[in-house]
Amino acid sequence: MAQLSVRHLLGIKNLNETDIHTILDTAAQFKEVINRPIKKVPSLRDITIANVFFENSTRTRLSFELAEKRLSADVVNFSASGSSVTKGETLLDTVNNILAMKVDMIVMRHSSPGAAHYLSTRIPANVVNAGDGTHEHPTQALLDAFSMREKLGDLRGKKIAIIGDILHSRVALSNIFCLQKLGAEVMVCGPTTLIPKYLPELGVKVGHDVKAALRWCDVANVLRIQLERQQIKYFPSLREYSLYFGIDKAMLDELDREIVLMHPGPINRGVELSSDAADSAHSIILNQVENGVAVRMAVLFLLAQQ
């Protein structure tokens, strides 16, 4: 059976194209499993996995927990609020205490970029990065690529527009790395203040006209405005952002071809997407959520073989 070239999933940057295809092909098999009447397989029956979340999460945490339980792993959940972290315990001490209870794998979300990498060099367990600050969110990029591939087939030569708050998004960077490794063309679109200046160096097109981006792309992956990460004002108001960069169904209907609409969630309805666009036939947002379980099952299963 195909194996990954890495012991940890820290970011898409650390994967090669073969790794990505291995994960997506394995996820396709697990998607069949989770759509059967009996959704469980005993693949990780002897493995204990700790979900260590230092930031709030709904979809990612539930998705990982469900993936682990579908694989028959034993699951331990940890959240920073109400833990010894509030008493001053360090990240490494917290995780080492969890590992002392004989945990085999750590799934971690942390607000600091590089936290998962730091941990992977200091503990023997496999580490899966469930998002580290504004750096990377590899499983989101993989499930996005899986959803696109399911809808469009081979992504080589396909045009993907990532629209919204690129500056504060870990999803954007992981998507760029993943899509480029799969041969897709990538454009980012948003206000000048929310697009990092280094992006053209990654071989990414940069635009500021949403309608032009929608005409160009096969897939529009729309990101929310991350107000919780913004220390200063990057635009006058949410209303003005919505007027210039929001997408509604009328804009999608004006296009001369049908495009695919995606969003990693949570959606701020009426800001980056109107309700009629988010719930339209263009949207595969709920498919992304379903595919997230299959992709995370594939990641956990493949890392457990290492």
CA angle 123, 302, 16 (to 5 degrees): 90
Report whether 224 belongs to an annotated binding site: yes
Q: Please tell me the total number of residues recorded for the chain in this structure.
A: 306
Q: Are strands 126-132 and 105-110 parallel, antiparallel or unpaired?
A: parallel
> Does residue 37 have a cis bond before it (omega within 30 degrees)?
no
Report whether 168 belongs to an annotated binding site: no
Tell me the residue type at 164.
G
Distance (Å, whole) CA 256 – CA 84: 56
Report whether 139 belongs to an annotated binding site: no
Report whether 140 belongs to an annotated binding site: yes
Distance (Å, whole) CA 215 – CA 161: 10
Q: Tokens 């995780």 identify what position? A: 95
Report whether 137 belongs to an annotated binding site: yes
Q: Could you tell me the CA-to-CA distances from 269 to 165, 224, 225, 246, 278 in Å, in that order?
A: 15, 9, 11, 10, 8
Report whether 231 belongs to an annotated binding site: no
Rounded to 10 degrees, what is the CA torsion of 25, 52, 262, 168?
-130
* Burial zone of 62 (CB within 10 Å; 0-12 exposed, 13-18 middle, 19+ buried): middle
Distance (Å, whole) CA 102 – CA 280: 47
Q: Could you tell me the CA-to-CA distances from 131 to 1, 10, 116, 199 in Å, in that order?
A: 28, 9, 8, 20
Report whether 21 belongs to an annotated binding site: no
Q: Are strands 260-262 and 185-189 parallel, antiparallel or unpaired?
A: unpaired
Residue positions forming the annotated binding site for carbamoyl phosphate: 59-60, 109, 137, 140, 265-266
Residue positions forming the annotated binding site: 59-60, 87, 109, 137, 140, 170, 224, 265-266
Residue positions forming the annotated binding site for L-aspartate: 87, 170, 224
